[in-house]
Amino acid sequence: MIWVAIVIVVLVVIDIALVTLALGRTAPNSGDPAGPIPTFSSSPRSSTSSPTPTADAAGARRSLSAVDGQEAWRATDGTCGGPAPTLEHTLDAGATWKPVTLGTDVSSLMAIRASSANLTVLAGVGDDCTTTVRTSTDDGVTWTAGSPGAAGAGVSTAGIVFATGVVEPPCSEPIEAYQGKSTSVVICDGQLEWRGGAGEWVDVPLSGVRSVADAGMTYTLARINTELCDGVQIESLPAVDVTPETSTTPIGCDADVATSEPLSLDRVDDHVWLWAGDTVSVSADGGATW
């Protein structure tokens, strides 16, 4: 049995030697720099309650309706059978936007009109995008049937939607439509069409107009590609007795905005709102400065 004891002693000695060697390789040397401490991190996520809607498709439209210098609503039109429209609300002059639910049956938006009391939308509803007016008095929490024309005029696949019904557009690709108490405007590519009541359309050669807002006895226009402004030029056009020779009057220029995407303009008293690209700007002096 002596040889068995000798073998056991030898194995123990070998084990001790191996453990010592392993510790010598893994234990930190007091003269060596400390190794890196493992860390676990994830990239920070930026979140916001107001994603900027985008108008990607050619011919896509935007709507902007202001209540005052601080409150406004904006929307993208969506497409019947395609991307859904978006609707958002701001109370801080466009610094932040809160998404508003339209309802799963709303397929498109053609116009919005807001006041301090309510918001009204001209929407395409259901699989066939039936033109429907809806009004909310609780900031879009609930919706009820609205009155024809309460959301303003809109552009649909069937034509120009006015309070009295749908009419043939005065051009092949209308950009935006507006209906006031006694006059109407349709913006086309290269011209602006005006009419009083249900009269004939008056063709006003005017390139680069992209949006129009009511300013009482005049219209306020958002116009691009002008000689005086590298961005969006704000101009004034008479609202009555318009002829093909009627000219516009420059008001101001918002030079720091994109002009490659659809624009939307609205006006309340001297507050002019402009949505261009990813930017919503507000002018407090009728569009003269931004």
Q: What is the DSSP string of 41-82?
A: --------S-PPP---STT--EEEEESSSS-EEEEE---TTS
Ordered by start, the domain boundaries in the chain are 63-283
CA 287 – CA 229 distance, rounded (Å): 13
Q: Read off the pTM.
A: 0.80
CB 191 within 8 A of CB 243: no
40: three-class secondary structure by DSSP: coil
What is the CATH code for 63-283?
2.120.10.30
Indicate the pairing of strand 144-145 with strand 183-187: unpaired
Instruction: Record the tokens describing residue 46, joined without a space.
Output: 């930026």
pLDDT at 190 (0 to 100): 96
pLDDT at 103 (0 to 100): 86
| pLDDT tens string 37-87 | 222 222 222 223 334 444 333 347 999 999 999 999 999 999 888 899 999
148-182 CB burial, b ≥16 within 10 A, e <16? ebbbbbbbbeeebbbeeeebebbbeebbbbbbeee
pLDDT at 10 (0 to 100): 39
Residues of the chain short of pLDDT 70, as ranges, are 1-59
pLDDT at 87 (0 to 100): 98
Nearest Cα neighbor of 88 from 121, 56, 57, 58 is 121
Nearest Cα neighbor of 102 from 83, 118, 125 is 125
